[in-house]
Amino acid sequence: MKASLLLRDDLKFHYGMKFTLISILVAVALIGGAFALSKNGNSSGEIPNGNNVSIVDGKQIIEIKAKGGYQPRKSIAKAGIPTIIRFDTNGTFDCSSSVRIPSMNISKILPQSGSTDIDIGTPQLATLQGSCGMGMYPFEVEFQS
């Protein structure tokens, strides 16, 4: 009787360990897969130079969409050219409708829908960093030569 109880407990332990090991392997595979997928997608929101930066009448225009954050999160532009950052909103009701660029002492409330131009002068080589009013959604513009 005791031997069968010990055998039964040993089997429970064996199957319990097997189940735990399988559970850990499945969890690692799911987490690793999610991480790999997020790295393959362009989760940073970076758009290669040229897709959101244009030069019109001697002014550089950087277009950034503001809704649930800023897209792209990183833009690359040319230094030494008069520059406007154009924020486009479309039904934006979150904190990305409040833009802050602390290094330039800029704070602006964007309309729920529309375009808002912010003239930032002629930037030199630097990385300009901004965010929403709460600091939850960052964006940056890297000015290169």
**Tens digit of each residue's pLDDT (9 = 90 or more) over 62-116:** 999 999 999 999 999 999 999 999 999 999 999 999 999 999 999 999 999 999 9
Q: Which residues does 102 contact at the CB level (< 8 Å), separation at least 6?
A: 129, 130
DSSP type of residue 111: P
Per-residue pLDDT tens for 31-50? 766 655 544 444 444 444 45
pTM of the model as a whole = 0.66
Does residue 13 lie within any of the structural domains?
yes
Identify the burial level of 53 via C-beta atoms within 10 angstroms of its C-beta, where 0-12 means exposed, 13-18 middle and 19 or more buried. buried
CATH number of 120's domain: 2.60.40.420
- Does residue 134 share a domain with residue 68? yes
Closest CA to 60 of 35, 78, 76, 42: 78
Long-range CB contact pairs, 36-42, < 8 A, 24+ = none
Mean pLDDT across the stretch 118-144? 96
**Domain of 81, in residue numbers:** 53-144
95: three-class secondary structure by DSSP: helix
Note the residue count of the chain: 145
Average pLDDT value for the chain: 83
Residue 133 clears pLDDT 70, i.e. is over it: yes
Phi (first) and psi of residue 21, to 5 degrees: -65, -45
- Does residue 81 share a domain with residue 24? no
Closest CA to 46 of 85, 23, 77: 77
126-132 β-sheet, strand order: 74-78, 138-144, 126-132, 98-101, 106-109
Helices (H), the chain: 2-40
Domain count, the chain: 2
Does residue 48 lie within any of the structural domains?
no
